[in-house]
Structure 1
Amino acid sequence: MKDSLFIKAAFSEKTERPPVWMMRQAGRFMPEYWEIKNKYSFLEMCKTPEIAADVTMLPVDLLGIDAAILFSDILVTGEAMGGDLSFTAGVGPKFANPVRTQADIDRLDTEVVHKLQYVADAIKVVQQRLNGSIPLIGFAGAPFTVMSYLVEGGSSKDFKLTKLLMHNHPELAHQLLSKIAKVTAGYLNLQIAAGVNAIQIFDSWAQALAWDDYKEFSHRYIVEIISQLDRKDIPVISFCKGSSVFAPLMAEAKPDVISIDWNVDLLDIKHRLPQGIAVQGNLDPHILYADKKVIKERIHRLFERMRGENGFIFNLGHGIMPDIPFDNVKYAVDVIKEFRY
């Protein structure tokens, strides 16, 4: 995979154009995704290697992107540890047994990597199908984000219960985060051993945190996880919502790539990062709702801004929304692939 555009850019090597993949590229904006989704529950899709592989391959076959990302979910680690996880249409993920007390934390198991073998099995099926054509990205949820779901019992707008735990009982929050971090490092190494070519850590809710809280309750655990990865030849991407603010701190965890949201000038932030850290991003996904001429103009504007920079992977500042027209996503990928520096 050393000749792959994506791997080269992730290791800050020169590429003739920026490689492209998009967060949530295998998902609800695709009619073909719904053909599969209407037959199975979301967790069945994640836990059945052949189905997970089918969904992973959709953007490879239909969009022609430069890297595939495994179809799974960030909350499988929380479930493996003992969370009673379900997904309901229109509601999202729910943990029926939220974690809020010492007893709840004590109940969570950390020797659980064997329960996630279905992910390793899916990776092997996907790699057979990719047959060396493009890299496969594995991923996990960051400890703070997984903790927020476990404590809140699902999605939250204000993270009130999570913040109360952190502020009133920091020792409990750290016990919980330590357990999640241990499982996450083992889980990512399982994916590397199964054959992924890159890793991304998703801290989807980090923007809810103040700087000091991010440092204490998120960043330190990402440092811990990255330091334990078998990362030879495997680039590590660190993503959080809020990366336009937290990027200088994120760099201290020594990822190869930092994925940047759309609230900041990408060149400016790249120049503020240490040499050798690539950036990924940072188109506002809402641009993909716009007219095609606007999509093309905004992509070219970003690429001209980054002209002459090694270590740039095109992505969105966050995931594709479910009602973005498929044709617009395909058009964006085509525009990117036609571009040359």
Structure 2
Amino acid sequence: MNTLDPSHPLSAARTASSRLVRAYQGVRQEVTPVWFMRQAGRSLPEYRELRVGTRMLDACLDPALASEITLQPVRRHGVDAGIFFSDIVIPLRLAGVDVDIVPGKGPVLGSPVRTADDVSRLTELDPASLTDETFAPIIEAVRLTTAELGDTPLIGFAGAPFTLAAYLVEGGPSKDHIRARTMMHADPIAWARLMDWTADVTGAFLRTQVVAGASAAQLFDSWAGSLSLHDYATHVAPASTRALSHVRDLTYVVTHAPDAAADADARADEPQTETRNVPIVHFGVGTGELLKAMHEVGADVVGVDYRIPLDEASRRLGHVVPIQGNVDPAMLAAPWKVLQAHVLDVLERGADAPAHVLNLGHGVPPETDPDVLTRLVGFVHGL
């Protein structure tokens, strides 16, 4: 186990008792915490103004810019967490991969990875070369952000190994990820090497954010929903476990007031300490059939998309796993009474789990009225 620095927001007790962190640790909160995936982005006019003339990956690697974008929705909406503004391909770029974000299309690779020789060339880029010096822009952005957030936690995030591998093999976005799924079966040895590499690269990226000051970590598997449960468990889950192992050992110590009644052997005048792990969330799109397997890779919390009710998701997880989700993003453009009824239904179903963090079942659509998000946060906090 590796204990976080005493100045870390969790260790310094700035965020350890926050609604979000405690809910992630399975402690139901009187007020349901809420944040939104893609809350920092195109739905905010201040974001669009700030991004003028700056390419996506350049913005992610500009510490002051990335920090400001992360903070914008926290200031505007009053959400219970910031989500670090970055992109899942940033660690690929920092590792030396030729990748860029093409407006209107998404990540595009200069050279797709489709053969065993391609995998060999890629893996010559050693993940161990991703040092603090390489990640300096990320570390500085997290430092700037957590200094402004105070007792509001920052969530670090990274793409899951399968999603990164799918981009690498396809060369860009894909509807069915057929080339990636073909490599998985046609050359399982090359596939396993590719997955181990993406796991270490993205795991190092996630760990860097947490060590620098993030109070939780989310692994985002955009494309896992294209897989069968068997393929996920056999060819993907081991790499996701490997990615999360980069964060799984990070701990912090919480000090409680003396409580002699709780421990007859303890001195009544001595504070009690407890070691806790940094909470980890695992979210995937279209992954209703994979929820239990996604939890078992080493996550504390499972994010649920909008396709499956939260009470059913909790049942599939054995009613023992904190859950996050799952307001349908399409509802954000519906009349307020319709959205309100939907949110109340999500909250009621979320009560089936030990704890619940309200979120969307995917990201905020770019055309969303930001005032609706602000109103939604106030509504949930007011219940």
TM bucket (normalised to shorter chain) is over 0.9
Question: In the alignment, is residue 220 of structure 1 matched against residue 264 of structure 2?
Answer: no
Percent identical pairs in the alignment equals 35
Pick the aligned partner of 2:41 from 6, 27, 45: 27
Structure 1, 198-207 or 150-159: larger mean CA deviation: 150-159
Question: In the alignment, is residue 148 of structure 1 matched against residue 173 of structure 2?
Answer: no
Which residue pairs with 1:273 in the alignment?
Answer: 317
The structure with the greater share of residues assigned to helix is 1
Alpha carbons of structure 1 residues 242 and 231: separation in structure 2 relative to 1, 3 Å: farther
Question: In the alignment, is residue 125 of structure 1 matched against residue 144 of structure 2?
Answer: yes
Task: Report deviation, 1:107.
Answer: 2.2
Distance 1:228 1:86 in 2: 25
Matches within 5 A, 1:77-156: 77-108=91-122, 109=125, 110-114=127-131, 115-131=134-150, 133-156=151-174
1:218-242 Cα distance to aligned partner (Å, 9 max, x none): 2121122223423324100011113
Structure 1, 244-253 or 50-59: larger mean CA deviation: 244-253
1:181-224 Cα distance to aligned partner (Å, 9 max, x none): 12222222222211110000000000111221111222121122
Q: Report if the CA contact (8 A) 2:67-2:145 is conserved.
A: yes
- What is the aligned residue count? 338
Task: Report deviation, 1:251.
Answer: 2.0
1:125-149 Cα distance to aligned partner (Å, 9 max, x none): 1011112x21000011111000111
Distance 1:302 1:276 in 2: 18
Distance 1:146 1:255 in 2: 19
Question: In the alignment, is residue 263 of structure 1 matched against residue 314 of structure 2?
Answer: no
Task: Give the TM-score taking structure 1 as reference length.
Answer: 0.95
Pick the aligned partner of 1:288 from 332, 335, 358: 332
Distance 2:326 2:98 in 1: 35
For the residue of structure 2 that corresponds to 1:111, the secondary structure is helix
Question: In the alignment, is residue 323 of structure 1 matched against residue 341 of structure 2?
Answer: no
1:276-330 Cα distance to aligned partner (Å, 9 max, x none): 5210001111111101111111111222333475310001111111112222222
For the residue of structure 2 that corresponds to 1:263, the secondary structure is coil
Q: Report if the CA contact (8 A) 1:47-1:119 is conserved.
A: yes
Q: Report if the CA contact (8 A) 1:243-1:259 is conserved.
A: no
Distance 1:296 1:271 in 2: 24
Task: Report deviation, 1:102.
Answer: 2.5
Counterpart residue type for residue 266 of structure 1: L
Which residue pairs with 1:301 in the alignment?
Answer: 345
For the residue of structure 1 that corresponds to 2:250, the secondary structure is coil
Counterpart residue type for residue 318 of structure 1: H
Question: In the alignment, is residue 42 of structure 1 matched against residue 56 of structure 2?
Answer: yes
Q: Report if the CA contact (8 A) 1:56-1:126 is conserved.
A: yes
Which residue pairs with 1:254 in the alignment?
Answer: 298
Distance 1:182 1:89 in 2: 28
Structure 1, 23-32 or 161-170: larger mean CA deviation: 161-170
Task: Report deviation, 1:246.
Answer: 0.6
Pick the aligned partner of 1:165 from 171, 175, 183: 183
1:43-72 Cα distance to aligned partner (Å, 9 max, x none): 111001000001000111111100001000
Unaligned runs of 5+ in 1: none
Task: Give the TM-score taking structure 2 as reference length.
Answer: 0.85
Q: Report if the CA contact (8 A) 1:292-1:331 is conserved.
A: no
Larger Rg: 2
Unaligned runs of 5+ in 2: 1-14, 252-276
For the residue of structure 2 that corresponds to 1:144, the secondary structure is helix
Distance 2:362 2:313 in 1: 17
Task: Report deviation, 1:106.
Answer: 2.0
Which residue pairs with 2:19 in the alignment?
Answer: 5
Alpha carbons of structure 1 residues 277 and 244: separation in structure 2 relative to 1, 3 Å: same
